[in-house]
Structure 1
Amino acid sequence: MTPTYSEDSIRTLDWKEHIRKRPGMYIGKLGDGSSPDDGIYVLLKEVIDNSIDEFMMGFGKKIDVEVSDELVSVRDFGRGIPLGKLVEVASKMNTGAKYDSKVFKKSVGLNGVGIKAVNALATNFTISAFRDGKGKQVVFEKGELVEEIDIASTDEPNGTLTSFVPDGTIFKEFHFIEDFVISMLKNYVFLNAGLTINFNGEKYLSKNGLLDLLEENLDQPSLYPIIHLKDEDIELAITHGNQYGEDYYSFVNGQHTTQGGTHLAAFRESIVKTVRDFYKKDFDASDIRASIVAAISIKVEEPVFESQTKTKLGSKDIGPNGPSVRNFIMNFVQKELDNYLHKNSETAEVLLRRIQESERERKAISGVKKLAKQRAKKASLHNKKLRDCRIHYNSNDDRKNETSIFITEGDSASGSITKSRDVNTQAVFSLRGKPLNSFGLTKKVVYENEEFNLLQAALNIEEGIDELRYNKVIIATDADVDGMHIRLLLITFFLQFFPELIKKGHLYILQTPLFRVRNKKVTYYCYSDQEREAAIKKLKNTAEITRFKGLGEISPDEFKNFIGDDIRLEPVILNKHESISDMLSFYMGKNTPERQEFIIDNLYVEKDEIEVEV
């Protein structure tokens, strides 16, 4: 029977209902906190952005941030939200000072939306404002106002205190990963010289802006001193290393544009043009940018972004009466970088040698690369290794952020995942066995080794990760000695040749249950000894316990429970203080007692099964 379409079918959602019903429109994907762009970090960012705007206007040089378990609090020392408008600012859409471009000419927050989205998506949201010895506090639950408290007199310095607990019914089993929060906060201080952020007792500040950012993110010494150039509305930092790939950090009005945009495209183009003109030689663009590590920050009046979460700049112009973004960046780079290279001949010589080395390596492997491409093209027509999905990350589909590819070992594991996956967003790539240890090898091996070449082609990352086909690259191996070895070999491959895939938060390890504890009425899947013991306690004498020794033992009917909404993923995170080359030497270099001990300590197998050969 066709539903009746009448006046009763039409209803208007109030602001909080709309945000709670369609949270992705406001904060992107939800997630559980295992990815740096998950919604809980967007909520934190929206609150901090308001404090940053105050700092940029010259009010408040310190921000205190605390994250403990589920509770988040942010205290700034700016002017404080006007007390009479506190409820409206927190709960009325399209309310805010950022519509007055004279006050907030180049702001970072979501105009009139950001803090409201936090309010609606929190089980508890409390905001307090302090102005000139008076204050006000308002408390909300899931966007509903539950309490207003006027504070007639206070010793609190001017500013705003916001605290919230993300709603666990929307962000399922969420947890904050400290490294992701610290990375976000460090970016704020790099972009705002003079600002101090205190996070859980640690102090973060920067004196040299993007120069400090690059030094923080270099995993090995750069080939030449970092080139640091800046003007009123633009700041750049550029250097080269010996790693593969290109590594960029781009920002607009203090917003980390993780997906780049018009400013990053112009920056990459202007570097190539300036270098070609300086050396008076038509170098290949890939040779100029090979192993580059660079950062760009620009300020744009009334920027246009391609999504609500502002990860990609779409603006064509710097401002209503200004030049185009491309011309603004091109003119600055051509003038300032050219001047720098003329004044610093040693740096110019080192850069020239690096470009020539890249050119020689590219030409040396061009023959192998051509054959490998032909093989990959032929294999893609009937590639049994790849069971693709319909939607891809480099598309414009609304579900592109949900896309993932499982890299599995053997037919049994890949068969179970293939039969239970979501064919729209989940792909499977099957390895024959243990991949080659690529530690210390050149990129030539990526083309010579058929498996690596097909994996590179499946991910579409040969020319960098701009056109990556899956948002999450998930290593799915058994929880035994061989499985862990395969994980290390794959992580080595990505660290060695495609480190930006890990740096940008795309690589994960699939967690699958080690035990099934059940009786005739209920089944518990347990990922640790503690979970197993808790399940046995619940079922008492009726418990039947099964130990899963490999992914192939889990039936497709069961596997769908582990790769759907309740999927458990462990992100592969590069800590800022860890050198990629040092990590590779430790994990995949010569055997050492420390390495053997690490593998045994981090391996979950039953005691009588341990036969370690590392």
Structure 2
Amino acid sequence: MNDELLTDDLQTPAKAPDHGYNEDSIRSLDWREHIRLRPGMYIGKLGDGSAYDDGIYVLVKEVVDNCIDEHVMGHGRTIDIKISDAKVQVRDYGRGIPLGKVVDVVSKINTGGKYDSKVFQKSVGLNGVGTKAVNALSGYFLVQSVREGILKAAEFAQGKLTSDAKPSKTSQRNGTLVVFQPDDTIFKNYRFIPEYLENQVWNYVYLNAGLTINFNGQKYYSENGLLDLLARKADVEHLRYPIIHLKAPDIEMAMTHGNDYGEEYYSFVNGQYTTQGGTHLAAFREAVVKAVREFYKKDYDAADIRASIIAAISVRVQEPVFESQTKTKLGSVNMGEDGPTVRGFILDFVKEHLDNYLHKNQLVAEQLRKRIEQSERERKDMAGVKKLANQRAKKANLHNRKLRDCRFHLGENAKDGAEKEALTTLFITEGDSASGSITKSRNVELEAVFSLRGKPLNCFGLKKKIVYENEELNLLQHALNIEEGIEHLRYNRVVIATDADVDGMHIRLLLLTFFLQFFPDLVRNGHVFILETPLFRVRNKKETIYCYNEQEKQNAMRKLGKNPEITRFKGLGEISPDEFGKFIGENIKLEPVILQSDRSIQQVLTYYMGKNTPARQEFIIENLRLEKDLITSDVLPAAEVPVEDLA
């Protein structure tokens, strides 16, 4: 041992330098500074609005949750929501914030009325943070309260009070109005996607009987709660049996089985959509298996019982414990003071009520039994080919030329937490030239590339056995780690990166068919995206402008003046790695793949990938456009690409 490294005769290692660590290194942040410095602690990942759980939607939710809590406590049956490109307005007709506390409620951390459990028995927001985070992260924020003919309003910018008007008389109804604009210095290039907002609104009305939400001029209302939710989400024409709908104080469930692969769940706590589930969803999945086994007196495999299930569970508890401020996953909690655990409560409810329902509805019980035994036969039939395919995939993984992996993966607790994990991405490309450009310009820590050798198999109408028999599809499912479901998905974003031509569109449709046919949860949970790359590069000696459609090209030509150089990118391989780095970095343009609420997966697949149906032929004829017509208009969106011979 080298004695020069020791500081005393006890041979204590020398201390590392402190790098100036002293009293000046200690900082105390006020509430606004802390939220703006660490927004991920309060709203999860920031994002640009292309993912359903991006921060801008959490801001909307935090404001609406307060209105919902008022309704749950019996105050106000209507909520008005208006959302434009940059501004959000939410008005409820509850009691209104006490006038003397209007400023404090939105600007003093840990200030609110929900600490008093007598006032808000089973509320979503309990820690007094939500609207403060919205305020701090908004470029403009207005709060207005009306109580008994008196109006009190205050305005803020980035959490700083800019206007604190005195109370004044008004003829408006009681309630609270919040208007805000997300701060564009934090949420860069953001946009609200209407489908995500609409799903949020639908969930609110399903979970709150008697509530009406007017969203951008359209009325949303539900009479039958979770029964209506499943009726909207499921392909009702192809369900194996009618939806089972059971209710009791503090719990509601609905379930059925369809024909799609995977398990489809919608779980809620106190009206909050827990997208990551938690103890209540785990208990529900366990309870269904136990109840079914006991009813049929057969030890069915749990996977066979839950295969193709479509279900929703909602519970209301006092003081729920969520695993983060965004409230997407429920932790361990009791139903109330001295009450049972959530798990015990759900197990008891499902065991009693589902068993009673099946005894009273013998036809449903028989149809459920047939569905379970069909799943059992399919699983056993696939066992042999699955074993061989997995052995082949294991050998390929030792040197998988198709996959150029990254260092971090979803669920591996990357250094920067949720924000970094949210950026884990797998690009699926067509051919070596496209994958080469992305591979050379990607972020090797967070971005992986899977290269297809050509057009993948059209999986429409095929059984999952084909995934194991087709080497390329099997390697893709192993790269994603979704063989048994998406619980262990390795990448948060699965990005289809194909050329902007007919062949590229065809490959895009074939990949979407693969995911929708066998792994629909991947799409339902917002993990699948389309990469948008520029179609044109317009430049002169001073400036280069990348354009994503014909209109942008025309604007760029006018801006740059006489005779600019125009390049049309026909394929991803034509874009140099240096240029590609600009399109998959901070300014990446991703179009999320969203399932329309009024169309089931089978309807979508039959329309686009089935035989030439009359409906599709009619659509193509009506929307057929000549190339010269496109010069004066935008490029056709993906949904309008002619697909008559793509299947």
Deviations 1:542-598 (A, max 9, x none): 622211111011111111111111000001111111122221122111235346558
Give a deviation string over 1:252-281, Cα, whole Å, max 9, x none: 111100011111111101111110111111
- Output the amino acid matched with 1:470: Y
Q: 1:393·1:469 contact (CA, 8 Å) conserved in 2?
A: yes
Structure 1 residue aligned with 2:179, among 152, 155, 163? 163
CA distance in 1, matches of 2:379, 2:622: 37
Tell me which residue corresponds to 1:392. Answer: 409
Q: Is the 8 A contact 1:514 1:526 kept in 2?
A: yes
What residue in structure 1 maps to residue 427 of structure 2?
406
Please give the per-residue CA displacement for 1:386-407, whole angstroms capped at 9, x wherever unaligned: 1122222233331212211111
Specify which of 445, 457, 469 is matched with residue 436 of structure 1: 457
For residues 76-100 of structure 1, give each alpha carbon's deviation from its aligned partner in whole angstroms, at most 9, with x where no partner exists. Answer: 0000000110000011111111111
Please say if 1:194 is aligned against 2:210: yes
Instruction: State how far apart, in whole Å, the 1-side matches of 2:517 and 2:332 are.
Output: 35
Aligned CA-pair RMSD: 2.1
Q: Which residue among 539, 544, 547 is the counterpart of 1:518?
A: 539
Partner of 1:331: 348
2:392 equivalent among 375, 378, 394: 375
Judge conservation of contact 1:480–1:603 (CA < 8 Å) in 2.
no
Instruction: Assess if the C-alpha contact under 8 Å between 2:278 and 2:329 holds in 1.
Output: yes
Once the two structures are overlaid, the 10-residue window that deviates more, 85-94 or 375-384, is: 375-384
Find the counterpart in structure 1 of residue 468 from structure 2. Answer: 447
Distance in 2, matches of 1:538 and 1:10, equals: 50
- 2:11 equivalent to 1:11: no
The equivalent of 1:30 in structure 2 is: 46
**What secondary structure, in the 3-state scheme, does the structure 2 residue paired with 1:239 have?**
strand
2:247 is aligned with 1:230: yes
User: What is the TM-score normalised by the length of structure 2?
Assistant: 0.92
Do the aligned partners of 2:235 and 2:258 also contact (CA within 8 Å) in 1?
A: no
- Tell me: CA distance 1:421–1:302, structure 2 relative to 1, closer, same or farther (3 Å): same
- 1:135·1:152 contact (CA, 8 Å) conserved in 2? yes
Instruction: Choose which of 339, 342, 360 in structure 2 pairs with 1:322.
Output: 339
1:215 aligns to what? 231
Name the structure 2 match of 1:148: 164
Aligned-partner Cα distance in 2 for 1:16–1:134: 29
Are residues 1:86 and 2:102 paired? yes
The whole-number CA distance in structure 1 between the counterparts of 2:597 and 2:212 is 19
| C-alpha separation in 1, matches of 2:626 and 2:348 | 53
Aligned partner (choices 267, 274, 286) of residue 284 of structure 2: 267
**Could you say which residue in structure 2 is the equivalent of 1:106?**
122
1:559 to 558, 580, 596: 580
Q: Please, what TM-score do these two structures have when normalized by structure 1?
A: 0.96
Which entry has the higher C-alpha Rg, 1 or 2? 2
State the AA in 2 paired with 1:216. Answer: R
| Equivalent-residue separation in structure 1 for 2:469 and 2:628 (angstroms) | 34
CA distance in structure 1 between the aligned counterparts of 2:582 and 2:437, rounded to whole angstroms: 12
Q: Which letter does structure 1 place at the counterpart of 2:149?
A: G
Any conservation in 2 of the 1:80–1:159 contact (CA below 8 Å)? yes
Change (3 A) 1:611 1:333: closer
Aligned residue number for residue 419 of structure 1: 440
Give the aligned residue type for 1:475.
I
The secondary structure found in structure 2 opposite 1:445 is: helix
> What is the Cα deviation at residue 368 of structure 1?
0.7
Instruction: Using the TM superposition, name which of 120-129 and 535-544 deviates more.
Output: 535-544
Q: What is the aligned counterpart of 2:326 among 294, 305, 309?
A: 309
CA distance in 2, matches of 1:437, 1:49: 43
| CA drift at 1:448 | 0.7
CA contact (8 A) 2:624 2:642 kept: no
Cα contact 1:197–1:204 (8 A) shared by 2: yes
2:360 equivalent in structure 1: 343
Which amino acid in the other structure matches residue 160 of structure 1? T
Question: What fraction of aligned residue pairs are identical, expressed as a percent?
Answer: 66
* 8 Å CA contact retained: 1:484, 1:603: no
| Match of residue 191 from structure 2 | 175
Report the more deviating stretch, 413-422 or 127-136.
Answer: 413-422
Give 1:219 shift.
Answer: 2.4
Runs of at least 4 residues off by over 4 Å: 595-607, 609-613
Aligned residues of 1:480 and 1:604 also touching (Cα < 8 A): no
Unmatched 5+ stretches in structure 2: 1-16, 636-640
Using the alignment, how far apart are the partners of 1:604 and 1:496 within structure 2? 37
1:206 maps to what in 2? 222
Does the 8 Å CA contact 2:278/2:330 hold for their aligned counterparts? yes
Q: Can you give the 5+ residue segments of structure 1 that lack an aligned partner in the other structure?
A: none
Q: 1:466 offset after TM fit, Å?
A: 1.6
Over 3 Å counting, the alpha-carbon distance change for 1:604 and 1:501 in structure 2 is: farther
The letter for the 1-side match of 2:435 is S
- Cα deviations across residues 115-137 of structure 1 (Å, max 9, x unaligned)? 01111111110010000010101
Alpha-carbon offset, residue 604 of structure 1: 12
1:495 corresponds in structure 2 to 516
Alignment partner of 1:290 is 2:290: no
**Native 8 Å contact 2:393 2:474 kept in 1:** yes
Counterparts of 1:17 and 1:153, CA distance in 2? 35
